[in-house]
Amino acid sequence: MKNLSLTMGYEIKMNAGSYFKPTAIKIWDQTSRFSEFTPQAPFKYMNDALVGIGLQKMNQYKNLPFSERTFAEQCFKAVDPYSQLYKNSNNRLKEVFQSAHRPSTLTVENFEKNINDLLDTAMSENELNLNVVPQFLNTIKKFEQEIGSPLIYNFSFQLSEKTTEKILCFYSVLFHLRTLVALDYNAHTEDSAFECVKCDSISDYLPKADFTVNDALMYWQFKKLSTPFIAHKDKDVRIEKLLIEPLQRSFNQYNHNACALIENLPQSLLTSCSPAELEEVLHHTQMDWLLGSSAGLVFRLREELFGLEHGYDKVFWPEATPQKKGKPQGLKICFELNEQDVFGQSSAA
């Protein structure tokens, strides 16, 4: 049997005034541009291939030959990490999901419809148009307002499997698009020891997660210690007004994420753990929320959309310095992916 392979190219169009604001990704058709560029093996982490195949998946592989569509789908499932991570983390959150208060079904269904409509609008047959980013952000903002609570550590809703798959694919394209911009930026830095930027699928969205755990443990202790003073029939109003309420406001102001983590978890889970166990539970719950909940997925997508709207340097890389390589140019990517690259072996003859 012939060794299966996929060859494709695409161009990342950039904003005329910035190296950090992609505006579109245009897929080359199967007969053009390959005379100018020789397809290369995928990058080490397959980020160039994941952007390309992710675009094909978003378009239901319409502009690939039939002989390559099945292989492309197999490649995406094998190489993209986020679908399996989502499934594994989602399974570990079942107890938390069951205890969460649910928004109305209609609210969630309307959000799914709006997101799906925007995805259909953004992805034409051969181009992903990123100028619709403000519409995505407005849709997410409106949904967050309608459910009545922030997305951070929210466990209250679960999107349908079909919508989740589409958003996971879109998110994967956007995250790996940012890694390609980072590669290009780093290639033009004068001192790679100090000037390079990085992409991280955890800390880019939850910076200093360990600090959040410590703050959450402190907030949980405060809630336990303050309960007798506000729940007792003979409570002292002065303690509540002069001590507990000001402390509560301070926690909400300075440790918002930690408060959200504690408030959104079932009390039965918090009280069943020893202090040492609770620290580990809170850490893993943060990661599982980010990687395996609908709110975490929409949260990650929103951060990537913010990066496209305002520039990656403003959202993810404030340490980045302006480059001295002239007017921003589109990035042209051309790769060839075969079974050996993906599965480590080719089909038997």
Whether pLDDT at 250 is above 80: yes
Same domain? For 284 and 304 the reply is: no
- Average pLDDT of the segment spanning 208-216: 94
Q: Is residue 139 part of a domain?
A: yes
pLDDT tens for 43-93 read 999 999 999 999 999 999 988 888 889 999 999 999 999 999 999 999 999
Mean pLDDT (the chain) is 89
Same domain? For 176 and 323 the reply is: yes
Same domain? For 315 and 192 the reply is: yes
Same domain? For 106 and 91 the reply is: yes
Whether pLDDT at 35 is above 70: no
DSSP result, 262-329:
HHTS-HHHHHTS-HHHHHHHHHHHHHHHHHHSHHHHHHHHHHHHHHHHH-HHHHT-TT-----SSS--
Contact 311, 20 (CB under 8 A): yes
pLDDT at 233: 55
d(C-alpha 273, C-alpha 171), whole Å? 34
What is the span of the domain harbouring residue 257? 209-290
pLDDT tens for 84-141 read 999 999 999 998 998 888 899 999 999 999 999 999 999 998 999 999 999 999 999 9
**127 pairs with which residues across the strands?**
26
Same domain? For 165 and 101 the reply is: yes
pLDDT tens for 145-195 read 999 999 999 999 999 999 999 999 999 999 999 999 999 999 888 888 888
pTM of the complete model: 0.92
- Average pLDDT of the segment spanning 245-266: 90
Same domain? For 302 and 322 the reply is: yes
CA nearest 95: which of 258, 293, 256? 293
Q: Is residue 348 part of a domain?
A: no
Count of domains in the chain? Answer: 2
Same domain? For 213 and 182 the reply is: no
pLDDT at 348: 37
